[in-house]
Amino acid sequence: MTDSPPSSLPIIDISPWVNPSSHTSSSRLSTSRALDSACRTHGFFYLSNHGLEHLTPKILHLARQFLTESSVEEKEKLKLRSAGKGGGDGARGYQRIGENVTKGKSDYHEALDLYRPWPEPTEPPYEPIQGPNQWPSHPPGFRETYEDYIDKLQTLGRTLLRAMAIGLGEPESTFDTAVRDSFWVLRCIGYPPLTPSPSPSHLEEGVSCGEHTDYGCLTLLLTDDTRGALQVLHAPSGKWITADPIPGCFVVNIGDMFNVWTSGLYASTLHRVIHRGGNYRVSVPFFFEPGWEARVDVLPGCVGRKGKEGGVVYGEHLLGKVLGNFVLEDGGALSTPLCLTCYSPEVGTSYGILLSQARLNVLQASLDSFAIVLVVSFRGLDGGLGREYERENERAIEKCYRANSFSCINRTGGRIAIGLGWLTLGLSQSGTGYTEKAIAKDPRIAIAANPRNIDVCIALPYP
């Protein structure tokens, strides 16, 4: 019999950890156990008494002012641009409605994306994610207020992770090193109401943001009082439940890195936004993530579980996700709906195993929309995994034969000049063989290597 979905998500009081001097060790343990239960069963929960209640109304107000009062010209000054083009880095900045993509389909929302500043000053043209944040000049005080809010959220995130570590039976400091230099992300998102006859892609299905899991560690979501928009999948029943806002609470969910840390015990949960109300919905999610260089491995207490194995360097994982997030119109590689993922055989088999799911998702999104992505470098992968990729590539190349046009894209998101032949970077014998067959079949196919020479991709949109 299918499990029935819960009527609501659990509400967890974090005050014993935020104000430990006012609470007993038993109350902190009780909170940790409640977090453990919520993460095992839902992957989502409400967080109350977090200490930021005095700030959240102003944060929402400033976000609404920026999104609804700024002129088109003001927003365009902050426009997200492809890496290496017009001062863009492919990640930071403002996106118009339809430019954000989930599983290859456009979402019906606009947003401003901010990231942790890159640790070392850089100059344009920027590598992916290495440019400066695009701060709005309107409303006044936006940057100062948000920077203070982000600092406080990082403190809350570290506190929450310490509580979760105890719930997992691990030392309280388990996650401290991984998030010491958290590569956080904050988005200000505006959702106009969906119309009865929306335009193409997700809009045909009436979706403001397509179903997805979050990439990293923890998401602390602040939203206005709009009800019925955020939906969370209850996996056992296959039904969607609403996660309506509760005054004074964050909606919190775990991200994909917890799949790795816990070997699948804490699974990130699919969620989506469908806003059919008559108002303009505003949300401000904060993604508290591991550091860029942090390696995420299975926790000692979770080793041997049937689930995710191996580890990942978070920055590499994030980069592979972000480069497929947007459909831009500045002539960059993502100006057409191409999907791209990154593999780094330098770190060996475990990284490849972790990313196999991500790669399958990207390939599926490509098949469902407009592009085929081929990864033809198998260095560092064991025989079984290498053969799996080879079989996928062989099938995909057959589809590519039917394509009438294509683009070659590198890891920086820039367009590479089309040419004949290929770059040999120590490809496996069979991988090179498939490439040769593709080029022999259709001489328009070129292969582009990323600047760090660690993988090679072919990307071809459908005719």
Residue 325 resides in a domain:
no
Within this chain, do residues 114 and 82 fall inside the same structural domain, yes or no?
A: yes
Residue 291 resides in a domain:
yes
Among residues 268, 288, 318, which one ends one of the domains?
Answer: 318
Residue 202 resides in a domain:
yes
Phi-psi region of 229 (alpha: psi -120 to 50; beta: other; left: phi over 0): alpha
Within this chain, do residues 225 and 358 fall inside the same structural domain, yes or no?
A: no
Per-residue pLDDT of the chain (463 residues; tens, 9 = 90+): 446 667 789 999 999 999 999 999 999 999 999 999 999 999 999 999 999 999 999 999 999 999 999 999 999 999 999 888 888 998 999 999 988 888 767 889 999 999 999 988 788 888 889 999 999 999 999 999 999 999 999 999 999 999 999 999 999 999 999 999 999 999 999 999 997 544 444 444 568 999 999 999 999 999 999 999 999 999 888 899 999 999 999 999 999 999 999 999 999 999 999 999 899 999 999 999 999 999 999 999 998 776 555 688 899 888 877 866 766 665 443 322 222 233 333 322 222 222 233 333 333 333 233 233 333 333 333 334 344 444 444 444 444 434 333 333 332 232 222 221 222 222 233 333 444 444 444 433 333 333 233 233 433 332 2
Residues contacting residue 121 through CB under 8 Å, at least 6 positions apart: none
Q: Domain range spanning residue 402? A: 336-461
Task: Note if the bond before 247 is cis, omega within 30 degrees.
Answer: no
Within this chain, do residues 41 and 163 fall inside the same structural domain, yes or no?
A: yes
Distance from C-alpha of 251 to C-alpha of 221, rounded to nearest angstrom: 5
Within this chain, do residues 409 and 443 fall inside the same structural domain, yes or no?
A: yes
Distance from C-alpha of 296 to C-alpha of 256, rounded to nearest angstrom: 11
The answer to whether 319 and 343 are in contact (CB under 8 A) is no
Q: Total domain count for the chain?
A: 2
Residue 65 resides in a domain:
yes
Max Cα distance, the chain (Å): 72
Q: State pTM to two decimals.
A: 0.73
Distance from C-alpha of 57 to C-alpha of 429, rounded to nearest angstrom: 59
Within this chain, do residues 139 and 242 fall inside the same structural domain, yes or no?
A: yes
Relative orientation angle of helices 383-400 and 429-441, to the nearest 10 degrees: 0
Within this chain, do residues 443 and 306 fall inside the same structural domain, yes or no?
A: no
Within this chain, do residues 310 and 346 fall inside the same structural domain, yes or no?
A: no
Q: Which residue has the tokens 């929306």?
A: 198
Residue 166 resides in a domain:
yes
The answer to whether 251 and 51 are in contact (CB under 8 A) is no
Within this chain, do residues 261 and 146 fall inside the same structural domain, yes or no?
A: yes
Residue 324 resides in a domain:
no
Within this chain, do residues 343 and 449 fall inside the same structural domain, yes or no?
A: yes
Among residues 318, 350, 381, which one ends one of the domains?
Answer: 318
Within this chain, do residues 80 and 217 fall inside the same structural domain, yes or no?
A: yes
Distance from C-alpha of 119 to C-alpha of 19, rounded to nearest angstrom: 31
The residue count for the chain: 463
Phi-psi region of 264 (alpha: psi -120 to 50; beta: other; left: phi over 0): left
**Cβ density class 197-213: b for 16+ within 10 Å, e for less:** eeeebbbeeebbbbbeb
Within this chain, do residues 250 and 376 fall inside the same structural domain, yes or no?
A: no
Residue 2 resides in a domain:
no
CATH code for the domain in which residue 200 is found: 2.60.120.330
Among residues 291, 318, 345, which one ends one of the domains?
Answer: 318
Residue 213 resides in a domain:
yes
Within this chain, do residues 142 and 281 fall inside the same structural domain, yes or no?
A: yes
